[in-house]
Amino acid sequence: MSKGEVVLLDCWVSPFCLRAKIALAEKGVGYEARAENLFGGKSDLLLKSSPIYKKVPVLLHDGEPLC
């Protein structure tokens, strides 16, 4: 991750992820969306970023999670 990079861990079926995308778009924040497969297997990045709930959306800014 580069300095100031924003990454959104999301899933297309989640209305909560859609809300996060809308909020980021309204604020003009550029981000990289990374799709998670919540039905088959969750990525190590998701499990590390949201260890308690293991749910999306998770917003990563400079590698630090904001659940």
Strands 32-35 and 6-10: parallel
pLDDT digits over 7-62, tens only?
A: 999 999 999 999 999 999 999 999 999 999 988 889 999 999 999 999 999 999 99
Q: Which domains does the chain have, with CATH numbers?
A: 12-56 (3.40.30.10)
For the entire predicted model, the pTM comes to 0.87
- For 9, the enclosing helix (H) or strand (E) is strand 6-10
Question: Are 36 and 10 in contact, with CB atoms under 8 Å apart?
Answer: yes
Question: Are 38 and 11 in contact, with CB atoms under 8 Å apart?
Answer: yes
